[in-house]
Amino acid sequence: MAAGAAVAARRLLLLRHPRHPHLLPKHQFSSSAAADSLDGGDGGRVKIFDRDLKRRHRDRAAWAMRENDALLDAVADNLLDRLEDCRKAFPSALCMGGAAGAVRRLLRGRGGIEKLTMMDMSEDMVKKWRELENAAEDGLETNFIVGDEEYLPIKENSQDLIMSCLGLHWTNDLPGAMIQCRLALKPDGLFLAAILGGETLKELRIACTIAQMEREGGISPRMSPLAQVRDAGNLLSRAGFALPGVDVDRYTVKYNSALELVEHLRAMAETNALFQRSPILKRDTALATAAIYQSMFGLEDGTIPATFQVIYMTGWKEHSSQQKAKRRGSATVSFSDIRKEFGSNQE
């Protein structure tokens, strides 16, 4: 424990985000993600991720992860900031998977939530959250359930708010999971999600690819596919959300070595869960990856940077009170008339 604390104390988190210029923490999060869910055969889906393996990863992480993580806290805080931009309250809310523990700890009355349901596919993770909840003193009614985002065990039209902080990128059918979230929302309910984007761990991807080519003469899937920013808006629209919104943050984390980075990814339940993964990583390939990472990306102070791109998605369940685009062709003034009217003044 003391050694782990010493390592954490040496770890610097540089959060390149205007809302958090003061943060200078200790750890971070991980890799992976599948927003590229493919529709196909048998009931519908081509399975990319081994969800049972991912559940075991989260079982292990429930007892390995630290209570406070600077990166997870920053992402969760940024996600919750969206609630402060809303005038309405959300009496009932569901928070599922990923960094839900950080969301619960940093909620601090935001969103007017009166009843919070926390859900995870890992029974051990839910048990850990329940133990931490006993120490909370904010009076918020909190319930805990074990459930899978791919088969959401929530009644339709039952929630005012659904949040997912760094969890949905492990689903095999991301649009399908988002559709289930929309169905579980009440009319004019809000969906908030943060997923990892395509630039996440780009340094590790490059180093790992070069090492495999050098040592093994080819490459095998070592890291999960990630959603691109351009896909996020399409995902919201495909899931049927109204007033979709997407924005992106990039966080840079410093580690003492690539091996320390991988160790922390394991503690955060963000290791490889692809069905087509290679079961063995050769020792010389792992060491070569670490050496290449240090050689290509190492900083003057001896540390290495790791990039985490986070995509924030916002969507509302349709309601008659919401703004709606006018019917195509219903405009009464043309842009050419506006240009004629005001163009001469600009010149």
pLDDT at residue 162 above 60? yes
Instruction: Please tell me which residue, 181 or 135, carries the higher pLDDT value.
Output: 181
Reference 204, options 286, 279, 306; nearest CA is 306
Beta bridge partners of 235: none
CB 76 within 8 A of CB 106: yes
Q: Specify the pLDDT at position 48.
A: 86
> How far apart (Å, rounded) are the C-alpha atoms in residues 266 and 272?
9
> How far apart (Å, rounded) are the C-alpha atoms in residues 303 and 253?
10
Work out the average pLDDT over 187-197.
95
- Residue 85 structure tokens: 């931009």
CB 161 within 8 A of CB 94: yes
Residue matched to tokens 């991988």: 262
Query: What is the dihedral sign for C-alpha 10, 14, 15, 19?
Result: positive
Tens-digit pLDDT profile for residues 213-256: 888 876 666 777 788 888 898 999 999 999 999 999 999 999 99
pLDDT at residue 342 above 90? no
Q: How confident is the model at residue 45 (pLDDT cuts 50, 70, 90)?
A: low
Q: How far is CA 198 from CA 73, 227, 231, 307, in A?
A: 21, 6, 10, 10
Q: Specify the pLDDT at position 120.
A: 95
- Residue 197 structure tokens: 């984007």
Q: Specify the pLDDT at position 225.
A: 79
3-state secondary structure of 180: helix
Q: Give the predicted TM-score (pTM) of the model.
A: 0.80
What is 244-273 written as a DSSP string?
Answer: EEEEEEEEEEEES-HHHHHHHHHHTT-S--
For residue 277, the Cα-to-chain-centroid distance in whole angstroms is 22
